[in-house]
Chains A and B, each alone.
Chain A
Amino acid sequence: MAIPMTESHRRFLQTMMNGGIMEFSKAKILHRNCCEDQSAHAQLDEFIDVINTQLQPMFMQIRKGMSEDDGLQYYALVNMAETDVTRMSSDYADNELELFRKTMDLIVDSENGTASSTDILNCADSLQTKKMKKKEVEHVLNRLVQDKWLNEKRGDYAMSTRCIIEMEQYIRNVYQDLVKSCYICHSLAFQSQSCENPGCGIKVHLPCVARYFKSHTDPQCPACKDYWPHEIPVFPAQSPSQSTSSKENTAPTPSASHSRRKRK
């Protein structure tokens, strides 16, 4: 039986629609603000369940996932429909979509979950649909960052948090055994470290590594107990007060595209 939505749910949903993605602690503040006038309100996840029940007929959903960039939890409003309308809304040309798929291939094949702009440029010559010039490739990559499909850091491209949350099922279907889940949090792992024991080879997200090995002087693989040979990354303290700045870091920034423009 569906619980009816109230003004509070609608207000929350509208804010989610504006940004598309929201960090967990911000979502909690928003939830509190939305429910201002109710003395006893539901937990955030139950609250979102009510919205999701109503969104289901529209093939939309608010889904939770971790950012590989800052290790924080995010809620993303995702679309699950594959209709004429959604295809129409994609204004990427066939060869541009092929370039995106090739970029995803590179990211999946890579050790660290990123693809360098050089490697992406190299596959532009082998596109089946229509070859692309260097300038065109740079332009498409720029758009993919702007539309929040990809993140760019110093010429390396990674899948954005929202892209991973939204496309998780698609990616698992297409790449099957080529993609691995994080041993700690069980979500898809791209920007990660892996165990070098050939019989093990598990992957762990960088933020999950940081959390798991915190204060370990002699890190061991959580699965096979082999020595963990990687440098343990340090992530910024994950208190709510810091989440604002770290969230902004995950968003494509004008400076990122600027630096790319400078390089050519």
Chain B
Amino acid sequence: MQLLRISDAVFRGLLNFRNGERTPNVAMSQKRRKSGMQISQGRNSRISQDQDDESEDRSFTQTSSSQVQRRMERLTVAQVDRKMAEVVQFILIKDQKKVPIKRAEIVKHVMKEYRDVYPEIMKRVTRTFEQVFGLKLVEIDTKNHVYILINKLEPIFGDQVGMGPGNHRTGLLFVILSIIFMKGGVVKESVVWNTLKKLRVEPGEKHEDFGDVKKLVTEEFVRQKNLEYVRIPHTDPVEYEFRWGQRAETEVSKIRMLQFVSELHDQEPQSWTQQYKEATTVEGPSSQR
């Protein structure tokens, strides 16, 4: 029935078995299975998941590219297209909540009997994401084979169309990223909170658009790989600092950010020497096209 909408509960479920450090909740996965979710089957313990991953890894390394080619020849174009479409849909569903996608999940839930032609299908999936959706599928963790979708298109800031609750959040994220960037790539969390307070966003209070601001910034933005939030070693009381996350690094154009900040301050981007140098030498999303 419905594809592009998926409830939070599913994603909480997915996250639950993705995070190895958390004890898997057996009651939850049983409930999920009862409710027709096939995702959780065989995932009741972390150990079985690890075994899954290992056996999958073995099957991948044992397959040579010529073997893949031979197997591809046995499939019809329609079969390959259909599988490709299913993988695209699966990844889009996950991406709705910016949940990273594991190769093991793709194989288990979508590829199934096509797992031996995984590289060929993924090649087509990647091409479709770029050519149709303007998205880039990036492997952010090559050891565990974790992917995220990033936007290849340059964002239009101040674009009023399509404004939803998500866009206010994008604005908040943009502000935080600019603070970090302008302060040289890393800032103490107190700097961020103080700047937000000046913008009348109180981290300790419930905000009309953002809800729990601190939770949004330190949990959701971090989970989306837009921010990194790390404890500064040997601090007492404990202090944390912010950096750009991997998604932000690949998705956000630093030169556009600098232009935006310069306009706010009514100055030339070149007047921030260090930032200008970084923005023009580091490859941003605009130069990937």
Contact = CB atoms under 8 A, between A and B. Distances in A.
A147 B7 contact: yes
A234 interface: no
Given A18-B164, A20-B5, A147-B5, A88 B38 contact: yes
Contact of B89 (A26, A85, A96): A85
Contacts of B38: 84, 88
Contacts of A18: 162, 164, 166
B230 interface: no
Contacts of B32: 91
B251 to A, nearest CB: 12
A188 interface: no
A258 to B, nearest CB: 15
Interface string B152-170: 1100100111101010000
Most buried by A among B2, B7, B109, B132: B2
Given A14-B133, A81-B89, A83-B89, A91 B5 contact: no
Most buried by B among A58, A83, A147: A58
Most buried by B among A7, A26, A59, A85: A85
A143 B132 contact: no
A211 B88 CA distance: 42
A109 B84 CA distance: 41
A7 to B, nearest CB: 6
Nearest to A36: B156
A96 B9 CA distance: 14
B238 interface: no
A166 B35 CA distance: 23
Given A15-B162, A85-B109, A93 B35 contact: yes
A148 B5 CA distance: 9
Contacts of B153: 7, 10-11, 14
Interface residues of A, number: 46
Given A17-B4, A91-B10, A166-B2, A7 B161 contact: no
A88 B131 CA distance: 27
B81 A57 contact: yes
A33 interface: yes
A54 interface: yes
Contacts of A33: 156, 159, 161
B36 interface: yes
Interface in B4-20: 4-7, 9-10, 13
A93 B161 contact: no
A58 B128 contact: yes
A30 B36 CA distance: 38
Contacts of B93: 85, 89
A79 B37 contact: no
A13 B133 contact: yes
B137 to A, nearest CB: 14
B111 to A, nearest CB: 11
Contacts, number: 125
Contacts of B81: 57
A86 B88 contact: no
B127 to A, nearest CB: 12
A210 B167 CA distance: 35
A92 interface: yes
A19 interface: yes
Contacts of A20: 4-5
Interface in B56-85: 81-82, 84-85
Interface string B118-134: 00000000001001111
Contacts of A167: 1
Contacts of A88: 37-39, 109
B36 A10 contact: no
Contacts of B10: 89, 91
Given A58-B85, A58-B128, A91-B6, 11 more contacts: A13-B133, A14-B134, A15-B162, A18-B162, A19-B162, A26-B162, A29-B161, A30-B162, A60-B4, A91-B35, A92-B36
6 contacts: A7-B153, A19-B164, A22-B162, A54-B131, A58-B128, A86-B3
